[in-house]
Amino acid sequence: MSSADLITEYFPNISEAQQNQYKQMGALLLEWNEKINVISRKDTENIYLHHVLHSLAIAKVIRFKPETQILDIGTGGGFPGIPLAIMFPDCQFHLVDSIGKKIKVVNEIVNALNLQNVRSEQARAEQLKQKFDFVTGRAVTKLPKMLQWMRNNIAPKSFNALPNGMLYLKGGEFDEEMDQVKKYFKIYNIKDLFHEPFYQTKKLVYIKGV
């Protein structure tokens, strides 16, 4: 199954409006990807499996409380930020990428979906000064470098089930990276959350604080 039905299979309680937004998102991304390449052209048949649902692994690990502030670094075509923003309309998302054409696509999709809880910015991660409850990312760079970039961007006061920190989607082996992490962390196997073979080697890394 590679359609938007994947989302309702794993998140059966989302509203009809959210279902429609996920359906629209795939169509919009396909349309914009023809003009500005933000995901591999070979991957367009698997937008929901490889990108949208993958992003929502975070929503299986934590249900963000209203007013949570989330920073999505290296968002590319809006992942994981836009799928999470649809899932958590009462939270605020700040999507950042250093490449302007990618932020253009993000802006167009956000506007078309009427996502009032998303703002986006062309910037480098290390330039950001604001504080957030959580930082998300998906294979942006190696974890030690990401932690160095984000060390001053995590708000100290937590109010979610998980203490404030980073939620980072990774694939393959990265034991050497984790050996350099001196904070509390937990690694979730996404194959335990979603049963599709694509997720066999995919992980979600939570790192407390930064």
* pLDDT one-digit tens code per residue, 48-103: 999 999 999 999 999 999 999 999 999 998 999 999 999 999 999 999 999 999 99
d(CA 164, CA 6): 29
What would the two tokens of residue 46 be?
């698997």
For the chain, the domains span 5-208
Cβ neighbours of residue 208 under 8 Å, at least 6 residues apart?
162, 163, 164, 165, 183, 184, 185
Q: What is the pLDDT of residue 1?
A: 47
What would the two tokens of residue 93 be?
């998302």
Q: Are 188 and 156 a contacting pair, CB within 8 Å? A: no
Q: What is the pLDDT of residue 169?
A: 96
Residues linked to residue 4 through DSSP beta bridges, in sequence order: none
Q: What is the pLDDT of residue 51?
A: 93
- Ranges in the chain, pLDDT < 50: 1
Q: What is the pLDDT of residue 2?
A: 52
Strands 185-189 and 165-171: unpaired
Q: What is the pLDDT of residue 3?
A: 83
d(CA 109, CA 25): 7
- What letter represents residue 125's amino acid? A
Q: What is the value of pTM for the model shown?
A: 0.95
- What letter represents residue 147's amino acid? L
Burial environment of residue 61 by CB neighbours within 10 A (0 to 12, 13 to 18, 19 or more):
middle
What would the two tokens of residue 200 be?
């066999």
Question: What DSSP string describes 24-37?
Answer: HHHHHHHHHHHHS-
Q: What is the pLDDT of residue 63?
A: 98
**What CATH architecture does domain 5-208 belong to?**
3-Layer(aba) Sandwich (3.40)
d(CA 80, CA 138): 7
Q: What is the pLDDT of residue 61?
A: 98
